[in-house]
Structure 1
Amino acid sequence: MNFDPRAIGAQIRMRMPLLTPLEARVVDTITGRRDFNDATPLKDIAEDAGVSEAMVVKIAKKLGFNGFRDFRSALVNYNSLDTANLHQEISPDDTTADLIQKVFRTAMQALEETMSILDTEAFERAADILHRARNRDFYGLGGSAQIARDVAHKFLRIGLRATVHDDAHMMLMSAAMLGPDDAVMVFSHSGTTAAVLDALELARRNGARCIAVTNYATAPVAEIADVVLCSTAQGSPLLGENAAARIAQLSILDALFVAVAQRDLGAAETNLDRTRRAVESKHRR
């Protein structure tokens, strides 16, 4: 397995939904060991987790590794990186300074790891789809809808209109009216949101080009979309995954906005100036 060492943690987390609850607990046992190193025997891991050695090997392969030794080596390399140590759990004893540092470090880890797994070819395809589209419809619920609104706002600044839908019925109505010249971008952290999946499937059947922004490359939304852009974030009991993943997804979309603008930089700069001047009168002096 030839992953960027910074991406190992992300690759493990992205494949966790493929595991059974028992298998996931085994992974948690392994990643939670502070004494885990290149010499840690398979037998010890199996005994600690209360499973057979064969199951540990099977889990390693489900996570994308060649076997336990490959998994062990990759995880040890990852744990030695500064990136792996950026994320820290919040404690009741933390000072205000501790809390600020931990929240910022969690976001920094999400950014570092997301950048390491970002598929540049998929990114280029997404930029082309959005640039060429006749209509651009964005779907998302809750926090994901806020990310959709942020990027729609950016696109409008350069003269590219996008419509955000955060209601299940409106998503379906939108999808029913789309065709091969249109683009849909869906935002779903889990990649399993039923309303988003239903609308995405309908848009795809009608020929629209579909882009998914999600935290899990193996999620159902990734199986439907033409292009998948993945963020990654390590969860914590208080912040959850969504908080850090939101920072990573916003950064992906910021880069995508710049890439789309670059495809017609003259028009983008002209429209940026027009929209900037349009709102200047609302600024208090």
Structure 2
Amino acid sequence: MLEVSHLSKRFSDKYAVKNVSFQVNQGDSFGLLGPNGAGKSTTISMVTGLLSPDEGEVTMHGKTMRKHPKFLKQRIGLVPQTIALYDTLTARENLEFWGTVYGITGSKLKDNVNWCLRVAGLEDNTKQLVKKYSGGMQRRLNIAVGMIHRPEVLIMDEPTVGIDPQSRNHILQTVKDLNKQGITVIYTSHYMEEVQFLCERLAIMDHGQVIAYGSLNDVRQLAGTLATITIEAQGDLDSILKELQQDLSLKNLQNRDGALVLQSTNAAAAVSKVVLAMSQHGLQPANINVEEPNLEAAFLHLTGRQLRDGGEGAV
């Protein structure tokens, strides 16, 4: 549906984004993950046509942003990191204004405004001036403005920055619900847990470049991270341990105080093998716990540093 091909952008003699490529399929919830300064916002600005790339192209439905900017912009909604609202207007007035910018009028404008207010959970605050809104309410209205023209693709640039946990949870659930309704989402964040909650596919950026790309499982496997499995059972675990050690797909096997602890790239297959071995020895698992590798571990493996250490040299 949307293809980003070899995008690069320099400021002065320094690359902010260098040779970035990824594809977003229709109905995807796609994450663009990386520390502050990784180049995410610059990439999004090129995808939406706010910045012209020095190299590369953005294509949607076979049409390029370079040759058909109006076609793409009509189908893309942007929720910027900064609040883009008129604080002396009400929520409804903001939505009506931005709707007319897109050429929407009459009953369609009214229907779109009402839909956006409902999605943002602001139906009871439509007459209140935006400057009197809490930070979380402004963020929710910021998202609503990005949806006023019912875009095919909704691009969200760090939409939960600086808000309280309750508002953050509301926004994350709203994004998930919009995606379930068929809206394709591109979600940029430096919060691992948000991308893991929302996105099935992602690209990790660092220092202006994509360093990992694919499904969540793809990225974990690229990083070489392993799931940790703990299976508790009573009985002779040492004999089972010796048997399982012959299987090269099971790593770091231990008998730890009445529980077999091991690691594997395929947790489901590993659990099946251990449970089968236990049943063959007349043992019954009492408790099974699987700790999947997370994106934090993947990022640490790929870069040698924590995500929140930040980055330099990109925007």
Structure 2 length-normalised TM: 0.23
Which has the larger Rg? 2
Query: Which structure has more strand as a fraction of its residues?
Result: 2
Greater RCO between the two (CA within 8 Å, min separation 6)?
Answer: 2
Query: Which structure has more helix as a fraction of its residues?
Result: 1
Structure 1 length-normalised TM: 0.25
